[in-house]
Amino acid sequence: MDHATVARAWVEYGVQPWRCETFKFSTDPELVAKVHDVGLYLGPPHNAIVLCVDEKSQIQALDRTAPMLPMQPGLPARRTHDRRHGTTTLFAALDIATGKVTATCQPRHRHRHQEFLTFLKQVARAYPGQDLHLVMDNYAAHQHSAVCDWLAANPRIAVHVTPTHASWLNLVEVWFGIIERQAIHRGTFRSVRDLTAKINGWNDRRHPFTWTKTADDILAKADRRTTSETRH
């Protein structure tokens, strides 16, 4: 059987074997309430700023031991990355209305609540006197008592927590994916300083992020379908 016959069969039956996706079902008991809460993307509070907050850890400053080999007919571009010059953690708050990102890089491999609280204070200074609505996950550092106490002392800042196993509801994750593909993945960095300079320089590119799914649309897809009659 030749390649053309196989290709025609794939087209006829809608089979795409080169594609692979992942899925994860949220078991959060407050799933419905949290999804509706994050629905403020479509209807943000009046005169308030909606910010998506998270961190991207273990970003490596990778150097190349040899120049990149360019793409050729039948061959992809090839590169080495076996010189590591340290890592950084990127904290970011994405303003979904404008695409503006307030960000900072911290040297710790694993961030603690102290670094996260310092970043929250930076975000508050970036938007003085404005009501802020922060969308973020329930990572332990985000729920630390020192963070909760600071938020309680700053009532103009409200927090909206995404459901467990639903990081895709946080739009800053989309921004992390973009910066990974366009600024980090193909880069050459001789130090962590070079890496952070690249991230900070790329940060000037901005555009609004538009959310289109209603809470009902999301919950309809989040409903786990029965795939087996097996009893456990």
| Mean pLDDT split into 10-residue runs, the chain, 232 residues | 92 90 75 83 87 90 78 81 81 91 78 87 94 90 91 94 86 89 82 86 75 82 55 46
The CATH H-level (homologous superfamily) assignment of domain 28-65+78-222 is: Ribonuclease H-like superfamily/Ribonuclease H (3.30.420.10)
pLDDT of residue 203: 67
Q: With contact defined as beta carbons under 8 Å apart, do 115 and 139 qualify?
A: no
Q: How does strand 101-106 pair with strand 131-136?
A: unpaired
At residue 228, the pLDDT reads: 46
Residues across the chain: 232
85 Rama class: left (phi>0) / alpha (psi -120 to 50) / beta? alpha
For the beta sheet containing 83-95, the strands, ordered from the edge strand earlier in sequence to the opposite edge, are 101-106, 83-95, 48-63, 131-136, 157-161
The per-residue pLDDT for 11 is: 94
Residue 158 is predicted with a pLDDT of: 93
- Which backbone phi and psi does 179 adopt, to 5 degrees? -70, -30
- For residue 35, the one-letter residue type is V
Q: What is the pLDDT of residue 46?
A: 85
- Tell me the pTM: 0.77
d(C-alpha 157, C-alpha 170), whole Å? 17
65, HSE (Cβ side, Cα atoms, 13 Å): 5
